[in-house]
A and B are shown apart, each in its own frame.
Chain A
Amino acid sequence: MARIELDLAHAYKPNPRRDEDYALLPLKMTFENGGAYALLGPSGCGKTTLLNIVSGLVRPSQGRVLFDGADVTGRTPQQRNIAQVFQFPVIYDTMTVAENLAFPLRNRGVPADRIATRVGRVAEMLELSGQLDRRAAGLAADAKQKISLGRGLVREDVSAVLFDEPLTVIDPHLKWQLRRKLKQIHHELKLTLIYVTHDQVEALTFAEQVVVMTRGRAVQVGSASDLFERPQHTFVGHFIGSPGMNFLPATIVDGQVEVAGRQVGPAGAALQALGAVMLGVRPEYVTLAAAGAAGAVPAVVTQAQDIGTYWLVTGRLGQSGDAGDGALVRARLAPHQAIPKAGDAAWFGIVGPHTCYYRDEQRVEGATA
């Protein structure tokens, strides 16, 4: 087990010049010993590259990787003592399930009785005990992935266990089970786990700390509630939540925040010097307000959908006559209130304790008055 510190950048091409040449832009990050982390981001954002740099499969083109303060940048995964599970199941066809699970231990010369106990334990955790003597090649995809997971967890002295979207090939109901299993294993074994995924639910339920990545950058590291309540970057606002955060263009005029030509509230100290900002508010915190209420803006409802437990109402900012090109605002509304229909004029309350302000995609601290 180890505390992992990264201070690096990586480009697959030689001589990177522009930001686009980098798979990973310069970043500094620390994974604490025994933590459960998730790297979350869309495809191609660099999360797998980052994972492979931690494991040692990829050597960063600049910077260093430290394990417990020791520089391991040039070391192989084996020397770093890393376990990694890949997106698609990797099994050794000619071996039985038990032999597959024992393989990482056998390669390291662990005594046979110790191997037997570990394999038994891991098989039990993953509910593979009944299939230990079967040939691994004949099993279904999810059983094979369990074997891959098992091979990742079978060594108890590993620095960290890395998962690269390990549940992609698993059925949805098993996915949920396995995810809970992994969490349980984390509690039992106290290993450092790093989990790569593009699924926010997976990341937020699995990890204590989620690293949100986009286009080679780690834009925010935080707990589920940090990411939800205080997105540091507009990307986090968009990416986390369903639907994502509303972003409305706002201007600061005479110490007041103005959205769509209407004053919605006083601007905080940090906003005073800024002319134009983005107002960010989660659909969960958008409310229906009385006409002309403080902190509310008028809009024309364009769509109202029943999503079962809530209504998703979309409106275009502006009065009913001149609502041609106003920004869209979405609200998640509880079904017990009067839901406006498409075409109705409505007032949406957008300013509250959860409202954030952004300038150049970054959150402005101390923006609320």
Chain B
Amino acid sequence: MKPVNQKAWLLVLPVVLCVAFSAILPLMTVVNYSVQDIISPERRVFVGTEWFKAVMRDDDLQGALLRQISFSLAVLAVEIPLGIALALSMPAKGWQASAVLVLVAISLLIPWNVVGTIWQIYGRTDIGLLGAALAQLGFDYSYTGNATHAWLTVLVMDVWHWTPLVALLCYAGLRAIPDAYYQAASIDGASKLAVFRYIQLPKLRGVLMIAVLLRFMDSFMIYTEPFVLTGGGPGNATTFLSQYLTQKAVGQFDLGPAAAFSLIYFLIILLLCFILYNWMQRVGTQDKESGHG
């Protein structure tokens, strides 16, 4: 039998302590809240899984979850194809390439709450370029009054803010394709569409996975921009999960249900991360098997 060296425990102890204080203890506090009804700091009652059941049955939460999922899917459906198209049309070299890269990256440098403010002004029908233009064209546009308009405005804002990230990732992926592939395709008489379908898209698979993961997780946790732009309204048309959670925990001080929901939210994200991560890993190993290029 191999001798067991117990000293190892001592060596990992600092890490265990750090993680305990930074992650495990706060998380356990949330777990603690989620199983109690806190009436006042002195009076608390153990309620078991009561909050979890209540939260799962909560219509507001189900509504927020549904809105959240449809929002994230809409974000992916618009940003991924748009990002690819943008990357394909960006110049490959010369000063034009540098100029376009800087221009495209600008929106990524703007803080989230500023993005919200920009769009708040941009969408106003009296002084905003977009709002006024739409009003001039005869649309009865109002992101504060019309639920559909509000939802679409938040979506367009996210597309404006984050499509450049997808475009830059794809651009990097495209530049990594060796010239020989394009030369071979030209020799083989492939059309532009065939080049995209059989060379560019397969070679972009790796970066697209990353783009999908980043955009899905990020949009799933979106908070600041809709908070600044619409405050979750009108009604709760743009109240997404994190905003719902904040309202519960900080607004209404319902710590129990908020904690229970935090855990569910956490598990949903963990699960999605796990699925996407494994998917990416598999794509990675397939690429390795294929060896060159």
Contacts and interface: CB of A to CB of B under 8 A. Distances in A.
B3 interface: no
Interface in B272-293: 286, 289-293
A108 B290 CA distance: 28
A229 B199 CA distance: 48
Contact of A55 (B187, B198, B290, B291): B187
A151 B184 CA distance: 9
A225 interface: no
Contact of A78 (B178, B184, B186, B202): B186
Interface residues of A, number: 31
B28 interface: no
A17 to B, nearest CB: 24
B194 interface: yes
A265 interface: no
Nearest to A78: B189
B180 interface: yes
Interface in B196-214: 198-199, 202-203
A57 B181 CA distance: 12
Interface in B94-138: none
Nearest to B289: A138
A94 B202 contact: yes
A171 B291 CA distance: 16
B54 interface: no
Given A107-B188, A137-B289, A141-B292, A92 B199 contact: yes
B194 A107 contact: yes
Contact of B292 (A55, A89, A108, A152): A89
A77 interface: yes
Q: What are the 5 closest A-B residue pairs judged by CB atoms, nearest first?
A: A137-B290, A90-B184, A107-B189, A104-B188, A92-B198
Interface of B: 178, 180-181, 183-184, 186-191, 194, 198-199, 202-203, 286, 289-293
20 contacts: A57-B186, A76-B186, A78-B189, A84-B184, A87-B180, A88-B293, A89-B292, A89-B293, A90-B180, A90-B184, A92-B199, A92-B202, A93-B202, A94-B202, A103-B198, A104-B188, A107-B190, A107-B194, A108-B189, A169-B292
Interface of A: 55, 57, 76-78, 82-84, 86-95, 103-104, 107-108, 137-138, 140-141, 144, 148, 151-152, 169
